[in-house]
Amino acid sequence: MSEAKTEVEYVIKTGRQIVEKKQVDQPEQLSTQIDAVKLLYNELGAQVLLRLSSLAFHCRQCVC
């Protein structure tokens, strides 16, 4: 996730600038799509953290 973070943030920031400057025919639609990308990225990040936590817990159980 950390490898993609910079690129995702860049896409979101650039998209927001395009919407702000109304450089597309349907800025509201693009804004909605950007919101969806950001939400999905955040959800994936939460899942990764949850899985890492679970993995660490199980690894500790195996060591003992």
Q: Where are the domains of the chain?
A: 2-63
Burial 2-21 (b: 16+ CB within 10 A, else e): eeeeeebeeeeeebeeebee
Q: Mean pLDDT over all residues of the chain?
A: 93
- pTM to 2 decimal places: 0.79
Q: What pLDDT does 48 receive?
A: 94
Query: Is residue 64's pLDDT more than 80?
Result: no
Q: What is the pLDDT of residues 29-58, one digit of tens each?
A: 999 999 999 999 999 999 999 999 999 999
